[in-house]
Each structure stands twice: as structure tokens, then as C-alpha cells.
């Protein structure tokens, strides 16, 4: 790791798991939470949390449960799919937006004069 930047592509999968586990451990400790309290809040076994913190095991669902227990789900925002739209398409859609509601036919007839 050079200058705090990780070259994720040069790392092995187990090495990446160690970094993720280290993040979980560091976050847990900064919140002054025990492994037992986090594992209970996440609904997982303490041994699962230990494995994840070591980077030696666990599942995606366990990882998400731990992030939730540590109130770190905002990290998943990067995975949200964003729909890119061109400025021309955006302007076209803006023109098509309804500006006012139309009357129902029964309302139109009720407002007509009987003269």
C-alpha cells in the first residue's frame, strides 16, 4: 500500500478479505463495541464475526448484517445503479411533463350553461 492507496487488482482475494475484516474490526473498536455485542446485534455467531475480522471466512449476508449492526450500510451506496441520462433526453422529458390536470367529462358537462 503506497500513500494510503490500495491497488485492489494486485491483491489476492484472501488479502482483500483481510482488508475488509480489518475495516470491520477497526470500526467496531472505534465504536467501543465488543465482538459479542456486534454479533448479537447482527444476528450471527461470535465465531463468524471473528472469522470475518481475520479475513478467513463468512458470507456476504453476514458481512451486510455486520455493516448494519455497525451502522455502516452507507458504504454500499457505491453499488447502487445510477441511470445516466443525456441532457437532450432530460430536456425532452421536461417538455412532456404535465403542467395541469384535465377535467373529467362529467365536470365539463356540469359547468356548461343551460341557456
Average pLDDT of span 17-39: 96
Assign domain 8-79 to its CATH superfamily: lambda repressor-like DNA-binding domains (1.10.260.40)
Would you tell me the crossing angle of helices 35-42 and 60-69 to the nearest 10 degrees? 110
Ramachandran region, residue 82 (left: φ > 0; alpha: ψ -120 to 50; beta: rest): beta
Least confident of 2-6, 26-30, 60-64: 2-6
* Residue 50 pLDDT: 97
pLDDT digits (tens, 9 = 90+) for 71-111: 999 999 988 877 677 778 777 878 887 777 777 776 556 66
Q: Tell me: pLDDT of 2 over 50.
A: no
Which of the pair, 114 or 30, is modelled with greater confidence? Answer: 30
Please write down the long-range contacts of 35-43, taking CB distance under 8 Å and 24 or more positions apart. 38/66, 38/69, 38/70, 41/69, 42/66, 42/68, 42/69
Q: List the one residue out of 84, 67, 85 whose CA is nearest residue 76.
A: 67
* Residue 1 pLDDT: 44
Average pLDDT of span 43-62: 95
The residues pairing with 2 across neighbouring beta strands, listed in sequence order, are 5
Alpha-carbon gap, residue 45 to 65, rounded angstroms: 11
Question: What's the chain's average pLDDT?
Answer: 86
Average pLDDT of span 23-49: 96
* Residue 91 pLDDT: 79
Amino acid at each position: 500500500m503506497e500513500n494510503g492507496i490500495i491497488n485492489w487488482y494486485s491483491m489476492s482475494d484472501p488479502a482483500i478479505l483481510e482488508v475488509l475484516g480489518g475495516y470491520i474490526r477497526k470500526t467496531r473498536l472505534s465504536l467501543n463495541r465488543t465482538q459479542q455485542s456486534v454479533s448479537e446485534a447482527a444476528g450471527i455467531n461470535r465465531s463468524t464475526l471473528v472469522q470475518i475480522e481475520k479475513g478467513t471466512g463468512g458470507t456476504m449476508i453476514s458481512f451486510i448484517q455486520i455493516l448494519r449492526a455497525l451502522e455502516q450500510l452507507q458504504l454500499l451506496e457505491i453499488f447502487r445503479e445510477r441511470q445516466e441520462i443525456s441532457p437532450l433526453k432530460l430536456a425532452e422529458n421536461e417538455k412532456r411533463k404535465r403542467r395541469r390536470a384535465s377535467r373529467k367529462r362529467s365536470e365539463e358537462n356540469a359547468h356548461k350553461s343551460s341557456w
